[in-house]
Amino acid sequence: MTQRIVLPRLGTGTAWRDSARVCLAMNLHPNDVRWSDTAEDSSLFDAAPDAPPAVHDQAKVPKAFVSLAQSVVWHTDADRFDRLYAALYRIRSTPTLIRDRADPAIAQLRKMEKAVHRCQHKMKAFVRFREIGDPTAPRRSFAAWFEPTHNTMEPTADFFAKRFADMDWRIVTPSVSAIFEGGKLCFALDLPRPDFPEDANEKLWTTYFCNIFNPARLKVNAMTSEMPKKYWKNLPEAASIPHLIAGAPARARAMADAAPTLPPVRTARVQRAAADFDTAWKGPGDALGAALSACTRCPLHATATQAVAGCGPDTARLMIVGEQPGDQEDLTGRPFSGPAGKVLDGAFAQAGVDREGVYLTNAVKHFKHVVRGKRRIHQSPDRTEIEHCRFWLDAEIRRIQPKIIVAMGATAAMALTGDRRDILKRRGHLETGLCGRPVLITVHPSHILRTPDKAKQNELRKMLVGDLSGAHAISLTETAV
Ligand code: URA
């Protein structure tokens, strides 16, 4: 008699494994078992599968098969469970079969495993969250809609839970949805697609995408293979792709026609700075602090107490760059440990950014000041000092490899982009830094402190919070660009 096994749509992996063990213990031939899940076999939707008898004599299964099965169960192929059980049945007597890539059944399972892995990768890359709650709440809420090719929500949810542990979120798919609230992950079936509000970060992200699109390097096939069209409708930046592609030949021709010309003076400066980047410090990352403390690249070391290195985890995805250490930082040796640091901490809290998770540093590592009586008065570093110190900033960027860098104030903007134009006109926009990474320019916390007018101060604070929040969102995004 054929045994019918109907697996649940949640916890399918464990359910298949337990049932397969039972079938194997009962020595059921694959032809005598019919597998399905509740979505496929609606006639059995209400029928509880036979309770599996307790199994003590468990067959030894090669680890490689267990891991293969853990992926293949999430494939949408209607025969996936049957294929797995048939392979398992054979592997029980011939364990080496799992390594036989010429075996058509194993080869097919490997192909399905690959498709599931690819689908998981696409999910990690193309889920786009939108904020659905109060951005000033201590725990912010986000939602995303995603249409995966296979049933990959459940096995991929842990990735998102680790990556976005400090916020509440839900990823809704047409079948299984993951919900992460208060640090707890659960799943639900068949939720409706959420209604999303407008998202300011999305505009920022789309603008950045258009800015970094290089028409002369367009390879449509490579682009559509990495970012398949089926995902475009849920990617905010993808709305721009058709017109970017359509305009690419003309833009590329215009670029070619325009060359060669003598670079403008500013470009030449940028190129020199970029060349400096290539001669940057290449010692091991953990020797950076010691090397910096012995720095005499410019005269500032002579009057400062110490060089103040950046701080934060090596894995930080967001780097924040200020101007230079102030009076207090010069004494404590930690960036942003004085009054400007307090303003920054407040902005971090409002933007939902965890200070411990970001890498915080300065464009210039020594405190530049003049002594007046008992006071040490801050002085802004000049261009030469910024350029000398870029050596260290570049070394930090190479070490941390942040996803995005926030430049707070004109000195940081100059150090990171080589461009001294008015930062109030550039703030809130993404530029590409000399290091090739996205740089978001914003106001400096000290500028907020120095602004006497309360209303203006609040306006600047809002800008800082908005920019930090946008950069934070981008730092969390997996992108294929
Ligand atoms: N201002 C900065 O730019 N950096 C600090 O570390 C402190 C104040």
CATH number at residue 363: 3.40.470.10
- Is residue 50 over pLDDT 60? no
User: What's the mean pLDDT in 170-196?
Assistant: 94
CB of 367 shorter than 6 A to ligand 1 = no
User: What's the mean pLDDT in 245-263?
Assistant: 69
Cα 187 to ligand 1 centroid, rounded to whole Å: 44
| pLDDT tens per residue, range 328-367 | 999 999 999 999 999 999 999 988 899 999 999 999 999 9
Q: Does residue 390 sit within a domain? A: yes
pLDDT of residue 224: 72
70 falls in which pLDDT band (50, 70, 90)? very high
Distance CA 443, CA 343 (A): 12
Mutational pocket test of ligand 1: of 319, 329, 344, the residue with most ligand atoms within 8 Å of the beta carbon: 329
Cα 340 to ligand 1 centroid, rounded to whole Å: 6
Residue with tokens 């030469």: 384
Cα 403 to ligand 1 centroid, rounded to whole Å: 22
Q: Are residues 429 and 291 in the same domain?
A: yes
CB of 310 shorter than 6 A to ligand 1 = no
Q: Does residue 481 sit within a domain? A: no
Average pLDDT value for the chain:
86
Closest among 378, 65, 436 to 214, alpha carbons compared: 436
- Is residue 404 over pLDDT 80? yes
Q: Does residue 145 sit within a domain? A: yes
Q: Which comes out higher in pLDDT, residue 220 or 270? A: 220
Amino acid at 182: G
Q: Are residues 226 and 345 in the same domain?
A: no
Q: Is 455 helix (H, G, I), strand (E, B) or coil?
A: helix
For residue 211, the surrounding DSSP H or E stretch is: helix 200-212
Distance CA 400, CA 395 (A): 9
CB of 362 shorter than 6 A to ligand 1 = yes
Q: Which comes out higher in pLDDT, residue 323 or 136? A: 323
Q: Does residue 299 sit within a domain? A: yes
Q: Determine contact, residues 317/475, Cβ cutoff 8 Å.
A: yes
pLDDT of residue 314: 93
Q: Does residue 97 sit within a domain? A: yes
Read off the tokens for 321.
Answer: 């760059």
pLDDT of residue 246: 75
- Is residue 57 over pLDDT 80? no
CB of 319 shorter than 6 A to ligand 1 = no
Q: Determine contact, residues 166/354, Cβ cutoff 8 Å.
A: yes
Q: Phi/psi class of residue 428: alpha, beta or left (left: φ > 0; alpha: ψ in -120 to 50)?
A: left
Q: Does residue 411 sit within a domain? A: yes
Q: Are residues 31 and 148 in the same domain?
A: no
Q: Are residues 249 and 142 in the same domain?
A: no
Q: Are residues 133 and 114 in the same domain?
A: no
1 falls in which pLDDT band (50, 70, 90)? confident
Q: Are residues 309 and 184 in the same domain?
A: no
Mean pLDDT is highest, among 29-33, 160-164, 373-377, for 29-33
Identify the sign of the CA torsion 290, 296, 300, 302. positive
Q: Are residues 84 and 141 in the same domain?
A: no
Q: Which comes out higher in pLDDT, residue 343 or 205? A: 343
Cα 381 to ligand 1 centroid, rounded to whole Å: 12
Last residue of a domain, one of 98, 122, 146: 122
Read off the tokens for 167.
Answer: 């916020």
Distance CA 352, CA 343 (A): 14
Q: Which comes out higher in pLDDT, residue 247 or 154? A: 154
Q: Does residue 300 sit within a domain? A: yes
User: What's the mean pLDDT in 268-283?
Assistant: 62
pLDDT of residue 54: 52
Q: Does residue 275 sit within a domain? A: no
Q: Are residues 305 and 429 in the same domain?
A: yes
Angle at 203 between CA 201 and CA 206, to 5 degrees: 110
Q: Are residues 446 and 328 in the same domain?
A: yes
Residue with tokens 């470009």: 267
Closest among 198, 208, 470 to 350, alpha carbons compared: 470
Q: Are residues 62 and 206 in the same domain?
A: no
Mean pLDDT is highest, among 212-226, 278-292, 454-468, for 454-468
User: 145 is in which domain, residue-wise?
Assistant: 127-189
Percent of the chain at pLDDT > 90 equals: 62
Query: Largest alpha-carbon pair distance within the chain?
Result: 98
240 falls in which pLDDT band (50, 70, 90)? confident
Last residue of a domain, one of 136, 156, 189: 189
Q: Are residues 41 and 149 in the same domain?
A: no
* Other CB atoms within 10 Å distance of the CB of residue 201: 20
Q: Are residues 365 and 290 in the same domain?
A: yes
Rounded to 5, what percent of the chain is helix, strand, coil?
50, 15, 35
Structural domain count of the chain: 4
Last residue of a domain, one of 122, 149, 168: 122
User: What's the mean pLDDT in 107-136?
Assistant: 90
